[in-house]
Structure formats: structure tokens, C-alpha cells
Amino acid sequence: MSRIFYTHLETPVGKLLLVAKDGALCRVDFPRSGSPVAPDGAWQKDSSALREPARQLRAYFAGELERFDFPLSPEGTPFQQKVWNELCEIPYGTTISYGELARRIGNPKASRAVGLANGSNPIPIVIPCHRVIGSNGKLTGYGGGLEIKEKLLALEKRQLRLL
């Protein structure tokens, strides 16, 4: 039986809940209504099990890291996995549309399904679903709320200008 560990991490977008299973990050949850998400009662609190994801997330928010490099284990359908893998290929500081993401996975008519898979991403920020926007260039839904999506995109654009 797998052991699941969690920790909370203070960030500029609120207190995130990080969850690892079998040594890989499997969830990042944004706070809800300003409060951190409570962990499942069966999970074990252990910040050492999430040391590297926490370190890299801190570096990301400090503008010192553009690409994460630690094991991930998002649970989802094969289609969702395909979408999430492609999200990781969107360069730091850039955005694409849902239609473009659908084209990149070889299914140009699947922009709605891509949007649903994007919205089901269990590891936001690390799997950068915030980099997907509407075809009109406007921000669209985000699990953490549009304000957080806007902050993440602004952070990445600001860091690019400093290079």
C-alpha cells in the first residue's frame, strides 16, 4: 500500500497543499476562500518527503527557476496525461490557446476536451496550465481563480524582462 505525504507551502499566491505518493508529487491544491486546503486524514504530514518540490516552487516564485525537475505522478485518463505532458512543453513566460494545445496533441477539433483536461490538472503551476488562454487572448477559467492565473503569468513575464 502506498503512503501519501503532504505539507503546506507559503507562496505569493497563498498557502499551497503539496501531496506526494511513492516519491512523486501528485497534487498541488490552491487555498479555498483564503484558507489552506485540509489534507485527507489518511495522509501523513512530512515536509521532508516534499523537500525538493517545495525548494523548486520557492525558486520559481523568486524568479530563479523556469522549469521544474522532480518526479510527477498526476492521476488521470490517457487523454488527460497527453494534454498535461504537452502543457509541460509550453515555454516559461509564453501562452497558447486551447485550440493550439489541441493541435499540438494531434486533435485540432478537441479544444473543449483539452479545456476540460486542463481544468482537471492535479498539479497546477508545476504542470503549467496557467499558460493556456482563450483564442481571443483573454484569460479564461483557472482552478486557483483568474487572479492567481494573472499573478503567475505576470511573474513569468516580469522575470523574462529582467533577463
Confidence of residue 162 (pLDDT cuts 50, 70, 90): low
Give the pTM. Answer: 0.92
Average pLDDT over residues 92-117: 94
4-61 placed in CATH 3.30.160:
yes
Strand partners, 19: 6, 27
The per-residue pLDDT of the chain, averaged, comes to 91
Average pLDDT over residues 101-110: 95
Confidence of residue 135 (pLDDT cuts 50, 70, 90): confident
Span 45-85, pLDDT tens digits: 999 999 999 999 999 999 999 999 999 999 999 999 999 99
Instruction: Check if 26 is active-site.
Output: no
Sequence ranges of the domains in the chain: 4-61, 78-162
Nearest to 122 by CA among 23, 16, 34: 16
Confidence of residue 163 (pLDDT cuts 50, 70, 90): very low
Span 30-51, pLDDT tens digits: 988 778 889 999 999 999 999 9
CATH architecture of 78-162: Orthogonal Bundle (1.10)
Q: How high is the pLDDT of residue 94?
A: 94
The three state secondary structure string of the chain is: CCCEEEEEEEECCEEEEEEEECCEEEEEECCECCECCCCCCCCEECHHHHHHHHHHHHHHHCCCCCCCCCCECCCCCHHHHHHHHHHCCCCCCCCEEHHHHHHHCCCCCCHHHHHHHHHCCCCCCCCCHHHEECCCCCCCCCCCCHHHHHHHHHHHHHHHHHC
- The active-site residue out of 17, 123, 127, 129 is 129
